[in-house]
Amino acid sequence: MPTIEVNYQDLQSLIGEHIPLDVLQDEGILYAKGEVEEIEGEMLKLDMKDTNRPDLWSAEGVAREIQGRYTTKRGLPVYLVKPSGLTVKVDPKLKTIRPLTVCAVVKNINITQETLSQMIQLQEKISGTFGRNRNEVAIGVYDYRKIKGPIKFTTVKPDGIKFAPLDFDEKMTPSQILKKHPKGLEFGNLLNGLKEYPIFIDAAGEVLSMPPVINSNHTGKVTASTKDLFIECSGFSMKFLMPALNTIVAALADRGGEVQSVRVEYSNGPIVTPDMSPRKYSINAEYVNSVSGLRLSPKAICDLLEKARYSAKATGNKINLLYPAYRQDIMHPRDVVEDVIISYGFNRITPNIPKVATTGELCMLEKFSDSVAGIMTGMGFQEILSYMLANKENLFRKMSMNDGEVVEIENVVSSNWSVFRSWMLPGMLEFLSKNKHREYPQNVFEIGDAVLLDRNTETRSMDVRKISAVMCDTRVGYESIASVVDALFSSLGIEYELVPGTHPSFMKGRTAQITVNGKPAGILGEINPAVLNSWGIENPVAGFEIEIERMK
């Protein structure tokens, strides 16, 4: 969770009303989904609890959220955007390098020390947390008066240009920056393998920055004397870039800055950013009450949402909403209900103990899974636990398979954990690949859930309980794993059959399909040597995977 620092007096000034420190600590910061972690003089260290709300990661955002609860500044914040006349031209060569950017100009801003520290902090928190350590969002802020438009977002060879990076007087090539500059050493991995690097350059030939690594010292150095700012966010997806830009622009506008738009020209047409127009949503009052457990009238719900900085109007039980452009977390009606409850006050809700007496016990699936685990450990296998999140590289490509359908994560934290596993055997091989320094034989198993697509369910997915096991040694083959499967089914008293089969992850002629009552239940065999090479596993491996519910 992001931790930010704000100055108490600066926060009071932004809120526009004095709130005693004890009230702010015990109640006010909670409205902004944060807690006061530490107080040192005038500085408050805040632990912000919501990683989907980058708009709350600055003094401006916290003040904006608190205003609705303590002052008359309620409802939708309005941000006027005028055209700046500036154009940014995006080179098609960036398509496979860093294809997207969104930009803005903010003029006539009084940059105090607090303004500067909050701007830097917000920039770092957004690019580091929301922007996945600059991979999805890299942010550049520049002295606009030193820039001559139009600006080009293009590419340059590693030694194709020289400029002085931020806080350096010496001019360097991009390749030298990656080797010598602290930021180059820290973020140079994001440019690994590229033959040309992304770069912003103005009409006078002055380099603005080499994203996502470093700004130039000429235009990228913002001080208290800077009055006009140019802001760009670059990355790979508009779902990250637009909220990031809107959040920064809103914070600067709250400081008195005049927001102006930029025309960004792509090969398939131009866009104008930032887009600060409010987003529309609607919700039913009955739904709010059923989820929250409250008994609120539509008018009362509207009042609570106005405090949360929505514009809300009720027509019967339907409530039509407008919410600010800097918010990208409204994806389900429950997100709106959460804001209703926050405004109402969680501490005002009296918990009700259910009037149903129940005795907890394991369900039949868990009992059966425990029985299977007991049999496997009795045969000398060691149980492991791995993550349900994986990636397509491990699930398919390293298993000599074409990419299949899987349940994907929309806002991924890391590309390594971008999908839910659809089967478990890749996780077993990953375990073996990381334990090559351990003694052999290595016989391990795991019982857990895989997630499959099911368009007939509300979530469009379903959990499937599976068992997967592998044997790895200098001499392991089809017969080794087949005897384990036979012992497992015999111990459970279940009849089964092995039918010759094929699978790209297993060796041809050394693979069988496991059937129970004539229906497919799993697969076993020797792992394909090409798969073992992908994982860097030197010894032969045999394994199986079975759906537990089909074993009954």
Dump pLDDT digits (tens) for 133-186. Answer: 898 999 999 999 999 989 999 999 999 999 999 989 899 999 999 998 999 999
Contact of 340 with 286, CB cutoff 8 Å: no
Domains 279-344 and 364-550 share a fold: no
> Which residues are 142's β-sheet partners?
230
Reported as type and span, the H/E element at residue 31 is: helix 29-31
Output phi, psi for 272, to 5 deg: -120, 125
CATH number of 3-70: 3.30.56.10
Concatenated DSSP letters of 342-401:
HHH-GGGSPP---S--------HHHHHHHHHHHHHHHTTPEE----SEE-HHHHTGGGT-
**Nearest CA among 546, 551, 521, 552 for reference residue 424:** 546
Cα 52 versus chain centre, distance? 8
Question: Quick one: pLDDT at residue 447?
Answer: 96
pLDDT in tens, 304-356: 999 999 999 999 999 999 999 999 899 999 999 999 999 999 888 888 777 77
CATH number of 81-273: 3.50.40.10
pLDDT in tens, 260-319: 999 999 999 999 999 999 999 999 999 999 999 899 999 999 999 999 999 999 999 999
The single-letter DSSP state of residue 211 is: T
**Nearest CA among 103, 109, 338, 92 for reference residue 234:** 103
Q: Where are the domains of the chain?
A: 3-70, 81-273, 279-344, 364-550
pLDDT in tens, 467-489: 999 999 999 999 999 999 999 99
Domain over 364-550 is classified CATH 3.30.930.10: yes
Question: Quick one: pLDDT at residue 132?
Answer: 85
Fold of 279-344: Phenylalanyl-tRNA Synthetase; Chain B, domain 1 (3.30.56)
Cα-trace Rg, the chain: 29
**Nearest CA among 263, 331, 302, 268 for reference residue 86:** 263
pLDDT in tens, 403-441: 888 998 877 767 788 999 999 999 999 999 999 999 999
Answer whether residue 1 shows pLDDT above 80.
no
Question: Quick one: pLDDT at residue 269?
Answer: 94
Contact of 462 with 452, CB cutoff 8 Å: yes
pLDDT in tens, 27-72: 899 999 999 999 998 999 999 998 889 999 999 999 999 999 999 9
Q: What is the 3-state secondary structure (H, E, C) of 330-357?
A: CCCHHHHHHHHHHHHCHHHCCCCCCCCC
**Nearest CA among 238, 99, 123 for reference residue 183:** 123
Concatenated DSSP letters of 473-538:
SSS--HHHHHHHHHHHHHHHT---EEEE---TTEEEEEEEEEEETTEEEEEEEEEPHHHHHHHT--
453: helix, coil or strand?
A: strand
- From residue 494, alpha-carbon distances to 262, 485, 519, 523 in Å are 69, 11, 13, 16
The two three-digit tokens of residue 222, written as one number:
């913002």
The pTM score is 0.71
Cα 525 from Cα 480, distance rounded (Å): 9
Question: Quick one: pLDDT at residue 519?
Answer: 92
> Which residues are 445's β-sheet partners?
383, 469
- From residue 176, alpha-carbon distances to 154, 165, 340 in Å are 19, 10, 53
Answer whether residue 2 shows pLDDT above 90.
no
Question: Quick one: pLDDT at residue 346?
Answer: 86
Cα 313 from Cα 303, distance rounded (Å): 9
Cα 432-437-440 angle, rounded to 5 deg: 70
